[in-house]
Structure 1
Amino acid sequence: MVRFVHTADWQIGMTRRFLSPEAQARFAAARIDVVRRLGRLASDEGCDFVLVCGDVFEHDQLTPQTLRRTLEALRAVEVPVYLLPGNHDHLGPMSVWSTSLMSEELPDHVHVLDRPGVHEVRPGVEIVAVPWQGKHPQEDLVGPVLDDLSDPAEGTVRVLAAHGIVDLLDQERRHRAAIPTDVLRSSLDSGLVHYVGLGDRHSRTEVADGIWYSGAPEPTAWREVSPGDALVVEVEPPASGRGRGTVRVTPHHVAAWSFVTVERRVDGDADIDALDAELAALPDKDRVLVHLGLRGTLGLAQHARLEELLARHEDVLGALHRPPQHSDLVLAGDDDIAELGLGGFLASAVEDMRSMAGTGDQPDPEDEAAFAAGRPDDGSSARDALQLLYRLARGGAR
Structure 2
Amino acid sequence: MSRRVNVIGVGMVKFQKPGASDDYNVMAAKAARTALEDAGVPYEDVEEAYAGYVYGDSTCGQRALYEVGLSGIPIVNVNNNCATGSTALYLARQAIEGGLAECVLALGFEQMEKGALASKFTDRTNPMDKHVGLMSDVQGFGDAPPTAQMFGGAGREYRWKYGTKRETFGKIAEKARKHASKNPYALFNQVLSLDEIMASPEVFDPLTRYQCCPPTCGAAAAVLCSEDYARRKGIQNPVWIAAQAMTTDVPSVFGEQSMIKMIGYDMTALAAKKVYQKAGLGPEDVKVVELHDCFTANELLTYEALGLCKEGEAEKFIWDEDNTYGGKYVTNPSGGLLSKGHPLGATGLAQCTELVWQLRGKADQRQVEGAKVALQHNLGLGGACVVTMYRRD
Q: Same fold (TM over 0.5)?
A: no
When normalised by structure 2's length, the TM-score is 0.24
| Higher CA-based Rg | 1
Specify which structure has the higher proportion of helix. 2
Specify which structure has the higher proportion of strand. 1
When normalised by structure 1's length, the TM-score is 0.24
